[in-house]
Homo-oligomer: A and B are copies of this chain.
């Protein structure tokens, strides 16, 4: 096993542990909004302007369509999203944010984008280096990353 591989391994293991150490805080953050993790990601995956088919949400959240039904039910009951018929295909239901949902999503993104301690404690130089490296990583990845926090 060559040394160059070990650098990536060590970086990953450190990140893995750092990330995991603050998983509890993330859960707490979700419950601040009385949402579970999946609901948070549901809102993050919705855009203000363009309603989205439920099937697409299932794909984005890597979960079964039947689970999306229940997920949408809950946030719809809270007035954050609404189901709309798709004029082009009457089997499809489009999910869009309500004005209140948009506002909640905004607060959610602001809150979630607050860096956890292991990033907050870094020097400005390290933060910048991290950002640049992750930008390169994101660009090289096939996955289109969902909604960005508004600055």
Contact status B18-A131, CB under 8 Å: no
| CA–CA, A14 and B136, complex, Å | 10
Q: Is A71 an interface residue (CB 8 A)?
A: no
| CA–CA, A130 and B129, complex, Å | 8
Contact status B122-A14, CB under 8 Å: no
| CA–CA, A131 and B18, complex, Å | 12
Number of copies: 2
Contact status B131-A129, CB under 8 Å: no
| CA–CA, A48 and B64, complex, Å | 40
Q: Please name all residues of chain B whose beta carbon is closer than 8 Å to the beta carbon of A120 when the two chains form the complex.
A: 8
Of B9, B15, B115, B145, the contact of A8 (CB 8 Å cutoff): B115
Contact status B113-A145, CB under 8 Å: no
The tally of residues in A whose CB lies under 8 Å from a CB in B reads 54
Q: Please name all residues of chain B whose beta carbon is closer than 8 Å to the beta carbon of A141 when the two chains form the complex.
A: 18, 21, 117-118, 121
Of B23, B112, B122, the contact of A136 (CB 8 Å cutoff): B122
Interface centre among A116, A128, A137 (most CB of B within 10 A): A137
Q: Please name all residues of chain B whose beta carbon is closer than 8 Å to the beta carbon of A13 when the two chains form the complex.
A: 112-113, 148-149
Interface set of A (CB-CB < 8 Å, partner B) = 1, 4, 6-21, 23-24, 41, 62, 112-122, 124, 126-131, 133-138, 140-141, 143, 145-146, 148-149, 151
Apart from A12-B114, A13-B113, A122-B133, list 7 A-B contacts with CB within 8 A: A7-B128, A8-B120, A9-B115, A10-B131, A11-B115, A126-B133, A126-B136
